[in-house]
Structure 1
Amino acid sequence: MNAAATPATPPAKRPAGRGRNLELPEHLKAYKGVWVFIEHDRGHVHSVSWELLGEARKLADKLGSSVGVAILGGPDEKLEAFAAEAFGYGADKAYIVHDPVLLGYRNEPFTKGLTDLVNKYQPEILLLGATSMGRDLAGSVATTLLTGLTADCTELNIDPTSRALAATRPTFGGSLLCTIMTLAYRPQMATVRPRVMAMPRAEEGRSGDVVQETLGMVESSIVTKLLDFLPDATSNQINLPYADVIVSGGKGLKNPENFKLVFELARVLGGE
């Protein structure tokens, strides 16, 4: 990998950087396309997946390649409907895996499913949301594939010289921006936090190709077990990642009853 730290206010021109002209190994030149992992739970796709699709479309257009989405889930989950929605946001092809062990997120089966897809179809860029699920999955997939991963990116671009993914992220407490390129490995992976990238506009009537794949795992071979799902009572009412104003309280409120003041202030400010 090649990393160059730049001030928080980027200069007009970045230095070329050591290793910029590193030749990509011959067997990795077959990797083409930009993929987005579509994160979903309880029948709903996380908005960060659509935000990433907007960026993936821009990156793919610069590379002259296509946009794919990887969608994993249980036998009865509406993955094909998610794929149809993804086509509207810019995807050209959807790779879908239905399997009983993929009902509810667990690291082991999802890691195998995603790495199997990458090894078979060879995308050059793979993007995931920097959510609890995305961070957990991205790290294990990158480790399994022995490739580079840039986490919590604030900007994604294509380096004009190497045609590599230039992934920019804050470092040293946000005082510097570091642009990282995975030059000699594929796929190039990055995670992006929700709301960092703009939500693209959906194009009605846009379609794409669907590829169905199988996983081939049995429940008895998976260490973790999903016993039950206990939803948070407020999970359907409050969405902090997408709130413009957040009001919080601590020990100074003395007792639970005084938290009503926090909710009242949030209501007045139009926040959560």
Structure 2
Amino acid sequence: MKKLSLILSLILLLPLCLAGCGILESGIRYYAKDKEECLLSTDNVTQFTYKGEDYTLLENTLPDEDLGSWVGYIRKLAVIDSSGKILKQQSITKEPFQSLAKMADSIPNASHVIPFLNVYTVKDGPGQELIVEADGGYHEAIPSSMVKAEDNIFHYDRDTESSDTDFSVNPQDCTQLLSGKKIYQITDKMVPTENIGEYLDIIADSFTFDCDTHQIISRKDLLVPDWSGNEQSCQKRQQWTLDSVYEICQTGRSDAVAVEVNSEYRLATALP
């Protein structure tokens, strides 16, 4: 399973710049304290409840400018089987979270992993319709009582084969991203929120690495006590949580992209 489904886009759509265990979660709770928690149906991933009413997610997506008020949230990674039944749900506000591949591979009969984030009203919408940030897009949702036979229900089983927009961490240097034949170097330069463009892909992984070698330090090595003070703990270490990858406005993706590192947008430039 490659990445199975796209994930996470921008969790709050606010420049939170939060990092470290517990800080991200507490920040999200603060900004979501007056929002409605929406619950997915465990029997059908295309359905959820909002304020006690059942809603059905449609395949139809809407542009950013159609987003109305932020009214609710789901914020779950849903592991589903081929019939759309949810096998496991994991909160995306916890740190560190599992990579998608690990999460799916650990569950028998898992077919896809799908992200569900925030819930919005439709700007200038005529009725009860909502917009749900799911699987990397803003999908329309309507009350289940209004669903008609001709409505195009959310395609949870869409093809997820790798493409030119797939990104992954370079196993030889975890400060780099790979996409096709391109290598992108993640820099310390921040990309302003207003320059963030189209959503491209999700990394969804958390790791600690050696600042000198840029090699990931295994969990086993992290747990080894350093009795002498001259062993593993003397490494200069850094912990990264990598989330989504985006285009940068007025910049070709072949030149650079933006990647969320510890909830900050960092510039990742293509190497020659």
Q: TM-score interval w.r.t. the shorter chain?
A: under 0.3
Could you state the TM-score of these two structures normalised by the residue count of structure 2?
0.23
TM-score normalized by the length of structure 1: 0.23
Which one has a bigger Cα radius of gyration?
A: 1
Q: Select the structure that is richer in strand.
A: 2
When you count helix as a share of all residues, which structure comes out higher?
Answer: 1
